[in-house]
Amino acid sequence: MSIGETMQRRAAEFAQRYEAVREQLARVIVGHDDIVHGVLTCLFVGGHCLLEGVPGLGKTLLVRTLAHALDLKFSRIQFTPDLMPADILGTNMVMEDEHGRRRFEFQQGPIFTQICLADEINRATPKTQSALLEAMQERSVSIAGKVYTLERPFFVMATQNPIEQEGTYPLPEAQLDRFLFKLLVGYSTRADLSAIVDRTTRGEVIEPQKVMDGTEIVRWQQVVREVILARHVQDYIVRLTLATHPEGPLATESTNRYLRWGASPRGAQSLALAAKVRALLDERYNVSFEDVRRVYLPSMRHRVILNFEAQAESIQPDQVLLEILEKVPEKADETALAVELA
């Protein structure tokens, strides 16, 4: 079997296994196809996901259903204003043995899992929110000078209410940047809402089946990274990222007018990885421009920071990003690039 045939077979198998997980989610979750695809993209990339929406839209149910469809350890942390970092990470406790000797013993917190549901994450104070930073980036936890490695795969699936709601705290920019996607969960359609009422008011209990374990997930994450990213497509990703930097050489008019800070290199990394998942779903082993465009908004909307003018005019990040998508061409201007490099 040639290399091309092997790649094609892997892509087809990935699409099949991806669909197996999606089907289990569809047994419980009605509609929200884009949100489901976004969550599964984060799963197969190995990134974290932030779901934002008003209460009652099924954000928590989606994450719990995903956990039930995967043979992984699962824990839920309900974020509240009085939650402390030790409630998440764990702490050293004084223990006494049968001889009366005392010793410190580390009691693991709920972060020591594989899928961690951080429910209503912006209900806790910034101090508590920041307790997740090391776990999300390094997949480890440092307590009293000792580093504890988290089991792979490890995902944080967080839900948050819109920051305009009472009793919420904005997430620190450094933590937002550690999420691969920020997905905006909207209201259900008329047909979907009717189906939800049918499913939830007749006493039916639908339990998803476990269709994938951690070993297989890690294997698919490696396959995603092997997808070919051509230089001209990679340059498109780089230019889309640089276009979010105010006063930069590739900044658009809206970027300079409405953004205070642009996306970090993590934005370009997330964009590339998410686009590779989209390519595999089309049973291709190479990334296209369209793959990049389809994942641009969820990859970038939480990485750009609006300035005061944008807030005063009620401008949303997606509006600025959509203009960037429109203004940045797929093919670079080689003359301008040569001048910039010089």
Q: Give pLDDT tens digits for 112-163.
A: 988 988 888 888 888 888 888 888 888 888 887 788 888 889 999 888 887 6
Computed over every residue of the chain, the mean pLDDT equals 85
Segment 61-71 shows an average pLDDT of: 85
Cβ count near 83 (within 10 Å)? 19
Q: What does the pLDDT read at residue 303?
A: 92
Q: What does the pLDDT read at residue 167?
A: 65
Report yes or no: 296 and 325 within 8 Å, Cβ to Cβ.
yes
Segments making up each domain of the chain, as ranges: 228-342
**Hey, which bits of the chain come out as E strands?**
48-52, 70-71, 74-78, 90-96, 102-108, 115-119, 140-143, 146-149, 155-160, 179-184, 212-213, 259-261, 305-306
Q: Give pLDDT tens digits for 72-111.
A: 888 888 888 888 888 888 887 777 777 767 777 778 888 8
Report the C-alpha gap between 48 and 157 in whole angstroms. Answer: 6
CATH topology (fold) of 228-342:
Helicase, Ruva Protein; domain 3 (1.10.8)
Segment 318-328 shows an average pLDDT of: 92
